[in-house]
């Protein structure tokens, strides 16, 4: 069974909620951090929705193991080869801060490593097979994350 990135994010949020609920202490971050977390969640979600619309506009797949019909290298893709995964990590960072528990931040690197191992390497292989030197040039000038 494939666990697609949105399900990985959902699992991460549920894990953070479980940590916050099961933790024997009250939230230790101030409300200011919690509000910042809500803002980061909104930023992450808005970015994901914006990028999904961009994929539709360019008529190519957003599905990680789908067959791309076009190399996305403009807009946010000019700064990061994986802006959607970056937005998902921002969303998870925000949800950790919103929970008020520092321990919930541990989910973020788990997501980053997981998505890199499960999806990014395979996507990069597919893009290189599909677009060849054009993708290698893009990969050479654009970082994977930031």
pLDDT digits (tens, 9 = 90+) for 100-120: 888 899 999 999 999 999 999
What is the tens place of the pLDDT at every residue in 11-28?
Answer: 999 999 898 888 766 667
For the chain, give every domain's residue range: 5-61+70-141
Helices within 58-120 (DSSP H only):
83-99, 107-115
Q: Which residues contact 58 (CB under 8 A, 6 or more apart)?
A: 70, 72
Give SS3 for 29.
coil
User: 84-104 burial string, b = 16+ CB within 10 Å, else e?
Assistant: bbbbbbbbbbbbbbbbbbeeb
Banded pLDDT at 122 (limits 50, 70, 90): very high
Which pLDDT tens digit goes with each residue over 17-69? 898 888 766 667 788 999 999 999 999 999 999 999 999 999 999 999 999 99
Q: Which two tokens stand for residue 87?
A: 């937005």
pLDDT band at 135 (very low <50, low <70, confident <90, very high): very high
Which pLDDT score, from 0 to 100, does residue 131 have?
97
CB contact at 8 A, 39 and 93? no
């Amino acid at each position: 069974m494939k666990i697609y990135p949105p399900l990985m994010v959902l699992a991460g949020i549920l894990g953070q909620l479980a940590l916050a609920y099961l933790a024997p202490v009250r939230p230790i971050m101030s409300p200011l951090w919690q509000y910042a977390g809500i803002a980061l969640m909104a930023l992450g979600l808005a970015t994901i929705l914006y990028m999904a619309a961009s994929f539709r506009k360019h008529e190519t797949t957003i599905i990680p193991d789908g067959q791309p019909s076009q190399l996305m290298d403009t807009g946010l893709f000019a700064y990061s080869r994986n802006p959607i995964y970056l937005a998902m990590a921002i969303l998870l960072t925000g949800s950790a801060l919103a929970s008020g528990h520092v321990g919930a931040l541990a989910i973020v690197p788990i997501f980053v490593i997981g998505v890199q191992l499960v999806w990014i390497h395979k996507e990069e292989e597919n893009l290189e097979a599909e677009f060849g030197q054009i993708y290698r040039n893009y990969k050479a000038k654009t970082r994977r994350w930031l």
